[in-house]
Chains A and B, each alone.
Chain A
Amino acid sequence: MSVSIVHTLRVLRPAAMIALVALTGLVVGFYVNATFFPGTSPEQPINFSHRIHAGENQIPCMYCHVQARRSISAGVPSVNKCMGCHAEVATDSPQIRLLASYFETKEPIPWIKVHDLPDFVHFTHKRHVQADIECQTCHGPVETMDVVSREAPVKMGLCLDCHRKNEVEHGTDCWTCHK
């Protein structure tokens, strides 16, 4: 008994076409999500603009993120800190009134993290800031952003490239970051 491959293909063609179309749909769907819904600049509870603060007004990063130089976490400024200026500055703006309402009720502002490393990565701000690594290396040009978005690809490649370039001691050891 002989089996014709041509005949088999002809029978399978409709199924193959369905699979091909579905696969194309998968790629398109993935691409659409990744391009148009990246989630890298989530909507924040207050429309805080880094462009106004760090760009126009030239406030140094560590004026607000005071912990960065001495703690593993850079620290988000306390509501109290914001009110230090905004008790006087731009008090009529609706967004500042929103801020003031958080302060009056002693509620923390639920900021959404833009830059977030997985739990299996040990990263400390202290070491990097003290080594004079620019904040923008990982965080992108924050001083130009009205809404902060994740622009630099904070993936393992970025860490390793930099560690290699600067010849960091034990910079490519697994345990340096994964501990």
Chain B
Amino acid sequence: MSNVDRRQFLKLVGAGGVGAGAGFMLAESIKHPVEYLIPYPIPPEEFSPGIATWYNSVCGMCPAGCGISVRTREGRAKKIEGNPLHPVNQGRLCALGQAGLQTLYNPDRLTGPMLQSGERGSEEFIQTTWEESLATVAHRLAAARDGGKNIYLLSEGVRGHLAMLLERFMDGLGSEHLMHYDFAHPHALYAANQRLFGEHTLPYYDIRNTRYLLSFGADYLSNWLSPVHHSLGFGHSRQGTDLDRGRFVQIEAKMSLSGAAADEWIPARPGSEGILALGLAHQILAGGAYTGSDFDDWNAALAGYSAESVAERTGVAAKTIVRLASEFMKAEPGLAIGGGAVDNHSNAVDTLVAVNLLNYLVGNIGKPGGIVFNSDPVVGGPANNRQANFIAMQQLAEQARHGAIDVLIVNNTNPVFTLPHASGFREALASIPMIVSLSSFMDETTTMADVVLPSHSYLESWGDDMPQPGLGFPVAAISQPVVSPLYNTRATGDIILDLAGKLGMKDSMPWDSMEACLKDGWRQIYERSSPDASDFDTFWRDVLVSGVWGEDIHRQDTVVVDKSVIDNIDVAEPEFSGDSEQYPFFLHPYMSTAMYDGRGANLPWMQELPDPMTSIVYGSWVEMNPATAQQLGLRDGDLVSISSEYGSLEAPVVIFPAIMPEVIAMPIGQGHSAFGRYARDRGTNPLQILAPLTATTSGSLATHATRVSLAATGRRAAPVQTGGDTRQLGRNIVQFTGDDSSAGGHSANLNSIPIVVKTT
């Protein structure tokens, strides 16, 4: 080491220095980053740090009205579960309900009142204050009221005391134009129940106790009426009793989630389901299951529905019809339900009357496992009272075009997205001088508003709810805020009350807040129910803690169908828009749990939730039968143009075996042009190209009455699919058992040993 020269020495010093520095920094880098312990200056009384507080409330994501329990920590909502005490969902909750947190914390929430500063639809807004915006609206409403001009209020379907507030508000304005608009509202089902049973509320369909469910198009496990409750019932009927497992038959043109869960899936020609139901009714009469005094009337009315003629009209084999009828009437009890596509053909009301008739003929009305009638809700009228059907929405547009509407108030509903282009609704809005929107998000309808009054999410507001359809007995629940408001928003009820105060309606609406209004209203429920609670405050507390209130009242009435109804029992052939040569395919737009009517599209969890049948996430697609694809020379992922008489759109092909060859299916919910970063410009909206055809007598939009044509674009756009191949590739994943050759021939190649081998 003696011969280290100066140059070498400097090198060594440098190396040592760099090494030491690197060592120091290495030690520094593996230390914990500095974290802080932030105390409360003054601790809140409601909670302790680190300890979760749960609040019971009501889900606001769809109209089913499930009870929820929300876990909060340090004043923030962390998790939503089902309320175990609530009879609708009994502790369970669907994916959309779980994603309610993403409504609350959505980065695209509206954070304060705004005024449109650009052209309508331009989404150019300037921030304003509540005082100013409410004063503007109140001034405008007062001028319209005093000048005798028309004021319209278009709300989502609200129930309970909020519905009552809206009624009184519009009364105070001297206007009769209070409309509820929900895309998924089953207008035809209400009309059918009215016609056959004389009932203006929906009955309870007791899937839980049924042994044989005949579902005509109702995707009851995914979105029909109350999917979480139906799923519970389905599970119980299948596995929850000592009896043989319940049998489920699904009749629909495209297999839904419920179809996939059923024991048997039977495709019937689109719109012919009611004819099939009458064919089954004919067989039931012939089988002697019905013994009513009006047997001869029924027999005469259904004479034209022999198995053979029905087979020809529906495409379902005659022997299958005979077998289904025999199984249905032997079941103890059987239940027939109808919805989905069946609710949305031009003959929907006839069809649903025919489906209900099956229940009537086998005598399961008012019995467990059958149809149980509901009494009127505890507060307000039936949900159908104010629901606007398609004809009413078209009339609104017509009035607007004639300049007959001065002010339109929209509350959290999005008709610009869910009504077809052919309705002209969006264009008609341009003729309304003043549009006010109460919404949490900048949806398509809110982009057209002049004044935006951002409302609380359901997790921040007071409210109450009476689930409809009920469960055969009265149920009500209070929705309470689980977190303080995140932004400068207000509850819908509070906004209405504030406006009412400014417009001098204190006499009919004396409350300062929605909470006060609820308390007042629930005092009557307290008095009516003669509860154990010694005073109202205890009762109120008990209801909030348990999250639900109910009464053990069951209706015991019997139904007698009027002779005029019997004589007119018939199902007309469905009408379709478009010539069958030029537009050879039936368009089948369907809803999903995740997107519902499009409201789920701004929630990342719902965008990421694979469609249960195709495992696709994010986009839109069009499903078609392999035979159809082969005939048109299309492959999975080919982009096709889908055209109706009223417009066209593009979507990639997904080959799906469980769909009739003449039907193509598209999911509803994507294709937003607004509604936040997650929803905008993703996929296409099949509702936009629908024909403006309505169902006879119910006046609702016949969403399944549009014929379309397909044309290849030559481009490809494979949808994002989480599953791999849709074929088995010899892996023997899907196994069959049983010997029902009429259902397509099953193979029995299981290696396992079944507990019960049952031959039917």
- Which A residues form the contact surface with B (CB < 8 A)? 14, 17-19, 21-34, 37, 39, 42, 67, 70-73, 75-81, 102-103, 106-113, 116, 118, 125
For the complex formed, measure the closest distance between the CB of A159 and the CB atoms of chain B, giving whole angstroms.
17
Flag if A112 contacts B35 (CB, 8 Å).
Answer: yes
**Chain A residue, CB-CB nearest to B51:** A71
Contact status of A111 and B11, CB under 8 A, knowing A39-B31, A67-B51, A71-B50:
no
Flag if B41 contacts A108 (CB, 8 Å).
Answer: yes
Q: List 22 A-B contacts (CB under 8 A).
A: A14-B11, A18-B15, A23-B19, A27-B23, A28-B20, A29-B22, A29-B27, A30-B23, A33-B24, A33-B28, A34-B27, A67-B48, A67-B49, A67-B50, A70-B48, A75-B48, A102-B41, A106-B41, A108-B38, A111-B39, A112-B36, A112-B37
Flag if A79 contacts B15 (CB, 8 Å).
Answer: no
Q: Among A34, A67, A76, A113, which residue has its beta carbon within 8 angstroms of that of B35? A: A113
Flag if B12 contacts A21 (CB, 8 Å).
Answer: yes
Flag if A25 contacts B50 (CB, 8 Å).
Answer: no
Flag if A29 contacts B48 (CB, 8 Å).
Answer: no
Flag if B23 contacts A28 (CB, 8 Å).
Answer: yes
Q: Count of chain B residues with Cβ under 8 Å from any Cβ of A?
A: 33
For the complex formed, measure the closest distance between the CB of A103 and the CB atoms of chain B, giving whole angstroms.
7
Residues in chain A near residue B19, CB distance under 8 A: 21-26, 28-29
Residues in chain A near residue B22, CB distance under 8 A: 25-26, 29
**Chain B residue, CB-CB nearest to A124:** B50
Residues in chain B near residue A22, CB distance under 8 A: 15-16, 18-19
For the complex formed, measure the closest distance between the CB of A68 and the CB atoms of chain B, giving whole angstroms.
10
> How far apart are the CA atoms of A72 and B28 in the complex, in Å?
29
Q: Among B18, B39, B48, which residue has its beta carbon within 8 angstroms of that of A76? A: B39
For the complex formed, measure the closest distance between the CB of A21 and the CB atoms of chain B, giving whole angstroms.
5
> How far apart are the CA atoms of A14 and B12 in the complex, in Å?
9
For the complex formed, measure the closest distance between the CB of B46 and the CB atoms of chain A, giving whole angstroms.
14
Flag if B23 contacts A26 (CB, 8 Å).
Answer: yes
Residues in chain B near residue A21, CB distance under 8 A: 12, 15-16, 19
Q: Among B16, B31, B35, B39, which residue has its beta carbon within 8 angstroms of that of A25? A: B16
B11, B12, B27, B35 pick with most chain A CB within 10 angstroms:
B27
For the complex formed, measure the closest distance between the CB of B16 and the CB atoms of chain A, giving whole angstroms.
4
Flag if A24 contacts B28 (CB, 8 Å).
Answer: no
Flag if A14 contacts B8 (CB, 8 Å).
Answer: yes
Residues in chain A near residue B21, CB distance under 8 A: 25, 29
Residues in chain A near residue B17, CB distance under 8 A: 25
**Chain B residue, CB-CB nearest to A17:** B12
**Chain A residue, CB-CB nearest to B27:** A33
**Chain B residue, CB-CB nearest to A77:** B39
For the complex formed, measure the closest distance between the CB of B196 and the CB atoms of chain A, giving whole angstroms.
55
For the complex formed, measure the closest distance between the CB of A110 and the CB atoms of chain B, giving whole angstroms.
5
For the complex formed, measure the closest distance between the CB of B11 and the CB atoms of chain A, giving whole angstroms.
6
Q: Among B20, B36, B43, which residue has its beta carbon within 8 angstroms of that of A29? A: B20
Q: Among B32, B48, B51, which residue has its beta carbon within 8 angstroms of that of A116? A: B32
Interface residues of B in 233-262 (CB under 8 A from A): none
Asked whether B26 is an interface residue with its Cβ less than 8 Å from the other chain, the reply is yes
For the complex formed, measure the closest distance between the CB of B556 and the CB atoms of chain A, giving whole angstroms.
51
Contact status of A113 and B37, CB under 8 A, knowing A21-B15, A22-B15:
yes
> How far apart are the CA atoms of A78 and B21 in the complex, in Å?
41
B11, B22, B38, B40 pick with most chain A CB within 10 angstroms:
B40
> How far apart are the CA atoms of A41 and B36 in the complex, in Å?
13
For the complex formed, measure the closest distance between the CB of B473 and the CB atoms of chain A, giving whole angstroms.
40
For the complex formed, measure the closest distance between the CB of A50 and the CB atoms of chain B, giving whole angstroms.
14
Residues in chain B near residue A19, CB distance under 8 A: 15
Asked whether B757 is an interface residue with its Cβ less than 8 Å from the other chain, the reply is no
Residues in chain B near residue A71, CB distance under 8 A: 48-51
Q: Among B25, B34, B48, B50, which residue has its beta carbon within 8 angstroms of that of A42? A: B34
Residues in chain B near residue A111, CB distance under 8 A: 36-39
> How far apart are the CA atoms of A58 and B500 in the complex, in Å?
61
Asked whether B42 is an interface residue with its Cβ less than 8 Å from the other chain, the reply is yes
**Chain A residue, CB-CB nearest to B43:** A78
B34, B38, B39 pick with most chain A CB within 10 angstroms:
B39
Residues in chain A near residue B35, CB distance under 8 A: 112-113, 116
**Chain B residue, CB-CB nearest to A72:** B50
Q: Among B32, B40, B49, which residue has its beta carbon within 8 angstroms of that of A108? A: B40
Residues in chain B near residue A75, CB distance under 8 A: 48-50
Contact status of A33 and B23, CB under 8 A, knowing A25-B17, A116-B32:
yes
> How far apart are the CA atoms of A77 and B16 in the complex, in Å?
48
Flag if A29 contacts B34 (CB, 8 Å).
Answer: no
Flag if A25 contacts B48 (CB, 8 Å).
Answer: no
Contact status of A30 and B49, CB under 8 A, knowing A80-B41, A106-B42:
no
Flag if A78 contacts B32 (CB, 8 Å).
Answer: no
For the complex formed, measure the closest distance between the CB of B3 and the CB atoms of chain A, giving whole angstroms.
10
Residues in chain B near residue A113, CB distance under 8 A: 34-37
Flag if B36 contacts A110 (CB, 8 Å).
Answer: yes
Flag if A78 contacts B42 (CB, 8 Å).
Answer: yes
Q: A25-B21, A26-B23 are in contact. List 20 more A-B contacts (CB 8 A).
A: A17-B8, A18-B11, A18-B12, A21-B19, A25-B16, A25-B19, A25-B23, A26-B20, A28-B19, A29-B21, A30-B24, A67-B50, A70-B48, A71-B50, A78-B43, A79-B40, A108-B39, A108-B40, A112-B35, A113-B36
For the complex formed, measure the closest distance between the CB of B679 and the CB atoms of chain A, giving whole angstroms.
32
Flag if A78 contacts B20 (CB, 8 Å).
Answer: no
Flag if B41 contacts A78 (CB, 8 Å).
Answer: yes
Flag if B37 contacts A80 (CB, 8 Å).
Answer: no
Residues in chain B near residue A109, CB distance under 8 A: 38-39
For the complex formed, measure the closest distance between the CB of B36 and the CB atoms of chain A, giving whole angstroms.
5
Residues in chain B near residue A110, CB distance under 8 A: 36, 38
Flag if A76 contacts B23 (CB, 8 Å).
Answer: no
Interface residues of B in 640-662 (CB under 8 A from A): none
> How far apart are the CA atoms of A111 and B36 in the complex, in Å?
5
> How far apart are the CA atoms of A17 and B31 in the complex, in Å?
31
> How far apart are the CA atoms of A85 and B674 in the complex, in Å?
57
Q: Among B27, B32, B40, which residue has its beta carbon within 8 angstroms of that of A30? A: B27
> How far apart are the CA atoms of A102 and B38 in the complex, in Å?
12
A14, A33, A80, A103 pick with most chain B CB within 10 angstroms:
A33
- For the complex of A and B, the 3 pairs showing the least CB-CB separation, nearest first, are A25-B19, A29-B23, A71-B50
A25, A108, A116 pick with most chain B CB within 10 angstroms:
A25
For the complex formed, measure the closest distance between the CB of B40 and the CB atoms of chain A, giving whole angstroms.
5
> How far apart are the CA atoms of A71 and B27 in the complex, in Å?
34
Flag if B24 contacts A70 (CB, 8 Å).
Answer: no
> How far apart are the CA atoms of A14 and B17 in the complex, in Å?
17
**Chain A residue, CB-CB nearest to B23:** A29
Contact status of A29 and B12, CB under 8 A, knowing A21-B19, A106-B42, A109-B39:
no
For the complex formed, measure the closest distance between the CB of A69 and the CB atoms of chain B, giving whole angstroms.
11
**Chain A residue, CB-CB nearest to B29:** A33
Flag if A25 contacts B34 (CB, 8 Å).
Answer: no
Residues in chain B near residue A17, CB distance under 8 A: 8, 12
B8, B28, B40, B41 pick with most chain A CB within 10 angstroms:
B41
Contact status of A25 and B18, CB under 8 A, knowing A34-B27, A75-B48:
yes
> How far apart are the CA atoms of A35 and B196 in the complex, in Å?
87
> How far apart are the CA atoms of A21 and B31 in the complex, in Å?
25
Residues in chain A near residue B36, CB distance under 8 A: 110-113
> How far apart are the CA atoms of A10 and B125 in the complex, in Å?
78
**Chain A residue, CB-CB nearest to B38:** A108
> How far apart are the CA atoms of A39 and B32 in the complex, in Å?
9
> How far apart are the CA atoms of A108 and B36 in the complex, in Å?
11
> How far apart are the CA atoms of A80 and B43 in the complex, in Å?
8
Residues in chain A near residue B11, CB distance under 8 A: 14, 18
Flag if B34 contacts A76 (CB, 8 Å).
Answer: no
For the complex formed, measure the closest distance between the CB of A89 and the CB atoms of chain B, giving whole angstroms.
19
**Chain A residue, CB-CB nearest to B33:** A116
B8, B28, B50 pick with most chain A CB within 10 angstroms:
B50
B23, B31, B42, B48 pick with most chain A CB within 10 angstroms:
B23
> How far apart are the CA atoms of A32 and B713 in the complex, in Å?
69
**Chain B residue, CB-CB nearest to A109:** B39
**Chain B residue, CB-CB nearest to A103:** B41
Flag if A73 contacts B18 (CB, 8 Å).
Answer: no
> How far apart are the CA atoms of A115 and B60 in the complex, in Å?
42
